[in-house]
Structures are given as structure tokens and as C-alpha cells.
A and B are shown apart, each in its own frame.
Chain A
Amino acid sequence: MPLYIAKRLAIGVGTIWAAFTLTFLLVHSTDNSPGAVRLGMGATPEEVEVENERLGWNRPLLTQYADDLGKMVRFDFGQSLINRGDVRDQLSDRLPVTASISVLATLLAGIVGTALGVVAAVRGRGTAKAVNAFSGFSLSIPSFWLGVVLVYFFAIRLDLLPATGYSRFSEGVGSWLQSLALPVITLAIGGAAVVARMAASGMREALAREYITTLRAIGTPEWRIRYIHALRAASLPVVGALGVQFIVLFGGSVIIENLFALPGIGQAALFGATGNDFPILIGVVVMSTAVVVITNLVLDLLTAVLDPKLRTR
């Protein structure tokens, strides 16, 4: 088991390195230069050249790569080309926003999805069809449109929740939750659909297994068969789906943060992309990859806890 964890960690580090390298290469393959970005439209080519020299852009590629890689290990991505702030500080300010949205959305998707899936598996055909139709529907509705629709009804028509903006946790839990409610619901609906399908098929598959017959043959009560044995079996694919959902939601927050004007990582990525802010771009990629890697690791450990075949290996 420790060997297994070490192996997964090594793969994770490799993945972060790959993400860094890929972005580094992308950034260096463009016609744009950091000097031009930093100085803006009005600068002359000479001024840009001087600025590039100052930023070390004209050094040999390998030197720059080694230098940036060394800094990256210390989570140092340099300064933003646009607002001149330290990238690490900016990102660590933004991380809690994105993390709150995606953690809450994952939790909501997990609870709602599992409940729907279990109901679909256990109740007869009609319920299963209804749940399946709901999830097919939810999977097809783009989150950015759903968000607009929800804003229209809940913020504009009913005036229940704020349409945009973010309120910090330290400013009060109530307003924090209110500011997150719409983005979280918007994100969670698609996730719940995925989880519901996983839970339903996992339960149904488990209930068709031979060992269920064994359990019945010794008079095991039906609730035990459903909610202890089958649900436990279905928990493996559900946990897997939740992990993937967290990753998807974390990435998908770009759109949601844009829609709801939330100061998260996704917004930074968007600014970086529109403004060619290379340090921000590299920082966001490395940080997001790290989140994915950590999520996968947690997921592996959780699966190992749930599955004795992995645990006893």
C-alpha cells in the first residue's frame, strides 16, 4: 500500500511537470512577447525589445525553461504582466472562491444524485424512466445558459438571491452561502445527473449479482440487501464519479465565475487568456493540475478503503 501511494505520487508529480512543460511550450511558440503585453499597444518595438531583455525572454529557451521550472517548484510564477501583482498571491487569494464553489457543488451533486439514483434503481420502471429523463435533460443543458435562466427567475423575478458577486466567508456564513447558491446549483445539476446515472446502474448491477440471491436465501431483510449490500457496491462507481465531477466542476468554474462575476481561479484564467498574461496562465495551469492530481490521489485512497481487493493487496 505505501508503495502504491508512492507510485501514485510520482505519477502526480510527473503530471504537473507535463502540464507545466506543455504550457511553457505553448507560450513560447507564439508571436506575442511578454514585453509587448506588459507595455501595451502604445509601445515601440525598441521599447518592447528592452522590456523583453529585462524580463529574460531573449535568453536561450533551455535556460529559461530550467529557470522557470526551478521557480515553479517553489510555486513562484513571477509577476502578472497586466496588473504587475505577484501571481502566487493573486492565485491564493482566488483559490478559496473556486474551491468553495466546486466543493459545495460536488457535495450537492453527490447527495442529490445518489438519492435519485437509489430511488431509480429500487423503485420500478416508471421512476427509473423519470430519473433517466431528468438526467438526460440536465446533461444537455449548458451550465452558462442554465445559470442565466436561474438568475432571471431567482434573482430578478423572485429577488431571492443575489445575481452576481461574491461575499467572503469571513463576512458571514449567510451572505457567503447566498452569494454561492446560484453558481453552486447551476454547477451541481449536471453533476447530479451524472452521479444519478452511476448510482442507478451501480445499484441495479449489484442487485442482479449472484450474492444477492445468497443473501435472500438466508432470509436477509430486503432493506439490508438494498441499503447495506447493494448501496455499498454502488458506492465504488459513485465515489469515482464524484471525483471526476469535482475535477470537471473545478475546471468548469471558469464559465460560472464569468457569469456570476466571482473572483476565482477561472476568472484569472480567462483574464490570462484574453490578455496573453503568460505568468498567470502558467500559474493557473500548474495550480489546476495540482488540484486534479490531489483529487485523484484522494480518490484512489478512498477507493482502496471501500474495496477490500485493493486494500488487501
Chain B
Amino acid sequence: MTTTVQSNPPAIEVRDLVVRYGGGRRAMKTPPAVDGVCFDIAPGETLGLVGESGSGKSTIGKALLGLQPPTEGTIWLHGKDVTTASLKERRTLASELRVVFQDPYSSLNPARRIGQTLAESLRLIGIKGDAARARAITTLESVGLPSDSIDRFPSQFSGGQRQRIAIARALVRDPNVLVLDEPVSALDLSTQAQVLNLLADLRDEHKLAYLFIAHDLGVVRFLAHRVVVLYRGQVMESGPVEDVTSRPRHPYSVALTAAAPVPRPAEQIDRRAHREALSVGSASTAPPDPKGCPFASRCPLADGQCHAERPMLRLIGGQRVACHHAEQVGVTWPPPPN
């Protein structure tokens, strides 16, 4: 226990997080879903967690929420170690740390009215009856839903409205940290924008810290202040979102940013040429060599060192990069499109 409490500890602090699924010898042979991940989130800050399927981004969210026990590492919430918090501790923690999931159709129990869903959460901290109802109504209104939503069932709402309800469910306990696990990727474009705007409004209003898990760099760039790029459970690059998306330093971040298409044809022609000039290899289903860089088998810059030695995160410019050849990126590589 620390005796001197820091004046302003990070909202979330994650150190050397390792998560393996399953147990036993077979699980030890397969690479972990999350492999030595570290990051901080300051109060009121939004950290984007970006990666493709299998990158471990959702697993990190689950580990934070206590849904998947970490194999190694530590998680602090406001300076308090919550890595292995018991259920009882979770109950109080749950007021500070809340979640919004991806699928608004599965995240609300279809058999319960909206009010019941919100009240269930409040009852666990001793708020019942009229007090709970009043609080639920206020919260629903704050996410832009009418107060009579409280007596309705989830099936009566559209996808975007359900996601607002899920956000209300998160906010009803008045938290200061929200894990947002792909909150807009199941929504249509116009609804997605509404929900993103709402999340931005709520953050500014309540000084919320977000862990924003997404696969779409565009939405991350809109909402996040800083971003962590994951590949196969490891951090490839992290730093301010503008730097990482505009001037990526890791070959994987370069490939990721180049691959995202933009709806401006003229610009997209250049981007496509740029992307095709990268000559990044296709992902294979085979697990990478645990000794080396997980991206080495696809990376055009990879050499013997990359296969033999796992690169550590290094501070280069404004961002931290796990690449032996980071200095080359943006200078001699990628080649200019011809």
C-alpha cells in the first residue's frame, strides 16, 4: 500500500498485462491473447485501442472489467489495485468503471423493461424504488431518450436507441471510467455519428475517461486523444492519435492506416497507390514465433534480428514504437508510389 496518495493518479493504469485463455499445457503452447500490454488513461482522457480481429483488444477490455482473469500483470483503477478484485469489491468498483458493448441487441435482456435493467444496477448499491426510478429517468433523458422509455422493452427500440440505453445503463451509476467495446461498429453510418457525438458530449460534460476499443481508425481518430495499436496481443505503437494516424512509425500502423479507405476519390487514388507500394504480406493463420516480432512474417522491413528478438517499445518522436527499424519508417520506407 502506498502511504502517499498521488494528487492525480491515472484513471486506469495497466502494467505488463498477459491474458491466456484456458488452462493446462495446451494453453501454454498457444500464444497468449494479450501479451505484456501497458498503458495509462488519465481522468477525462480517451484512449483508443485499435487492432484487427485476434489482436486482443476486446480481451483487454474484459480483463479490466473482471470478465476474464488476467494471467499476469496488474490493473490499477484510480491508484487502487483491482487485478484480482473479488465480487464484493467489484460491486463498488462497478460504480466507477462501466461498460458499453458492441451489440446493442444482445446487451439488453429482451425480457426486461428498460427501467428494470437500470434499476437492477442501482439496487446493487442500495438505491431502490422511487429514487432508482427518478435516477433512471434523468439518465435516460441525458442520453436523449424520452422519460417514458423506462416502461418499454428493448424490442421497441432501434439499434441506435438501444445503444443509447446501453450508455444510460453505464451512466446510471455515475462512473468516471467507461470501457467502450466497439460501441458503434454494429450501427449504420448515420446512427453511428449520433452515438459518437453523444459519447463526445457526455465525456465533456462528466469528465469521463474512455477506453475506446475499435477496429476503425476513423472513429478512433474522432473520439480518442491517444491511441494504442495492437497486433496479436502486443502493443506495436502508441501515442497521440494525430501522430499515430498521420505519421505512423511502426510498419504495421503504416499498413493499417494506409488500408483504411476514405470517401474522397481523388485522395483515395493516392492512398491506394501508397498502400499497394507497401508490399505488406498477407496474414497467415499460423501463430508467430514467440521469440521475434509478431509482425515480422508480413513486414517488408523484417530481417534476421526481427525474427530472433522481440522489439521493445521505444520513444521515437511523440510516440512509442516496438520496431527495430522504426527510424527507417517514414524516411526510407515506404517507397514513394510510382
User: Are chains A and B touching directly in their complex (CB below 8 angstroms)?
Assistant: no
A interface residues with partner B (beta carbon < 8 Å)? none
B interface residues with partner A (beta carbon < 8 Å)? none
